[in-house]
Amino acid sequence: MSRERIAKWKSSPLLWPLVGLAAVLLFNAFFTPSFYQLEIREGHLYGSLVDVLNRGSIGVILALGMTLVIATGGVDLSVGSVMAISGAVAALLLTETSWGLPLVVPCALGAAMIAGLANGILVAKVGIQPIIATLILMVSGRGIARYITGEKVIALVNDDFSESFDFIAGGHFLGLPFPVTIAVVLTILTLLAVRTTVLGLFIESVGANEKASHIAGINARGIKVLVYVFCGFCAGVAGLIDASNINAADTANAGIFTELDAIFAVVVGGTALTGGRFTLLGSVIGALLLQTLLTTMYTFGVSSDTAPIPKALVIIGVCLLQSEAFREKVFRASENRGGER
């Protein structure tokens, strides 16, 4: 590899998330060889790697929306609650009406996008700080979802629709679980939208300096509203996969703490929380890294209850590495050592 190429790679935002992912995969190669076993049953692929992709797809989808929101200098704490709302709407319509999936899915996604719109209006038009504006929906969104389902878990079993709804999470496409397909398609579409049009540039510009973007003629507020609506949409899709996965709308547990996972994926992926430049692929890798980490821990008998501990340590570690103040201190220390030599 030429020197310029190496230099380019070194400065790539994808470097660190990829190194992290490689480290976890390497660890598995040595300590859990079964991690790489794949087998084909009834035309479908099975194995830990497929599991990571399947379970990670919700995280990937949420990370897409969260990346764009964070790129505009915001954050969306309500994605977990919006997931619950979308699942609740879908379950209610499936059980209470005779509507088919082609009508139910748009309704559920529409509800999620309305929630995103509410966030966007509060942030962009009213001017409330994003943490707080989305906190409101985080608190009351779960209440809305619980109210929709009448405070109980709506089970989706033994009905005509259940098979088609089941396909969202339980189906397969090209031998892979269907959520993987959804995640891949959404990622490609989002990438196309932000990298082949000026949209990505506008988002970065709004995140870097809202006032300057406005003066330059960019509809900064409109862009902000748009990314929150998109984030709501992503949460809606994730909510449908989640509800289909457990065949129920469990509003108390659906999407709980997923906002934190999504923020984690974005931060690990190399997008700064201060907004501006973003990397969608980094976030996707971040989400997969998180899922690989979790799956690895589960194979070592770490219960899902205690899994948050390593998660927290990784998130703080990554933040420290990204922190100017931390790097300065460490860097200066190593420089001093060099000087003594």
Partner 1 sequence: MSWLSRKYLPLATTAVLLVLLFATGSVIYRDKNFCSLYVVADLFSENAFLGITALGMTIVILSGGIDLSVGSVIGFTTIFIATMIADHQVHPLVAWTFALTAGTAFGLIMGILIQRFRLPAFLVTLGGLFFARGMAFVIKNESVQISHPFYKTMNKIVLPIGGGAELSFAAMLFLALLGGMIVVLHYTRFGRNVYALGGDEQSALLMGLPVARTKIAVYAINGFCSSLAGIAMTLFMRSGDPTKGMALELDAIAVVVIGGTLLTGGVGYVTGTLLGVLIYGTIYQIKLFAELPSSLATLAIGGLLLAFILLQKVVGVRRQN
Q: By the criterion CB under 8 A, which residues form the site for partner 1?
A: 75, 122, 126-129, 131-133, 135-144, 146-147, 150-151, 256, 260, 263, 267, 273, 303, 305-309, 311-313, 315-316, 319-320, 323-326
Closest to partner 1 by CB, 22 or 139: 139
The answer to whether 64 touches 280, Cβ cutoff 8 Å, is yes
Q: Report, in Å, the least distance between residue 228 CB and partner 1.
A: 16
Closest to partner 1 by CB, 143 or 175: 143
Q: Is the dihedral of CA 121, 125, 130, 133 positive or negative?
A: negative
Closest to partner 1 by CB, 204 or 259: 259
Q: Report the length, in residues, of the chain.
A: 341
Closest to partner 1 by CB, 165 or 278: 278
Phi, psi at 173, each rounded to 5°: -140, 125
The closest alpha carbon to 285, from 306, 255, 264, belongs to 264
The number of angstroms, rounded, from the C-alpha of 83 to the middle of its chain's C-alpha atoms is 12
Residue 67 corresponds to which tokens in the numbers above? 């990346």
Q: Report, in Å, the least distance between residue 314 CB and partner 1.
A: 9
Closest to partner 1 by CB, 147 or 331: 147
320-325 long-range Cβ contacts below 8 angstroms, 24+ apart: 321/16, 322/267, 322/272
The closest alpha carbon to 91, from 180, 184, 168, belongs to 168
The answer to whether 123 touches 228, Cβ cutoff 8 Å, is yes
Q: Report, in Å, the least distance between residue 251 CB and partner 1.
A: 8
Q: Report, in Å, the least distance between residue 272 CB and partner 1.
A: 10
Q: Report, in Å, the least distance between residue 232 CB and partner 1.
A: 16
Q: What is the DSSP string of 282-325?
A: HHHHHHHHHHHHHHHHHHTT--TTTTHHHHHHHHHHHHHHH-HH
The helix, strand and coil proportions of the chain, stated in percent and rounded to the nearest 5, come to 75, 5, 25
In a 3-state reduction of DSSP, which class is residue 155? strand
Cite the beta strand spans of 208-284 per DSSP E.
248-249
Closest to partner 1 by CB, 42 or 305: 305
Q: Report, in Å, the least distance between residue 264 CB and partner 1.
A: 8
Q: What is the DSSP string of 45-93?
A: EESHHHHHHHHHHHHHHHHHHHHHHHHTT---TTHHHHHHHHHHHHHHH
**What residues pair up with 248 in beta bridges, in sequence order?**
155
Closest to partner 1 by CB, 87 or 141: 141
Q: Report, in Å, the least distance between residue 43 CB and partner 1.
A: 39
Closest to partner 1 by CB, 151 or 163: 151
Q: Report, in Å, the least distance between residue 145 CB and partner 1.
A: 8
Q: Report, in Å, the least distance between residue 11 CB and partner 1.
A: 22
Closest to partner 1 by CB, 78 or 187: 78
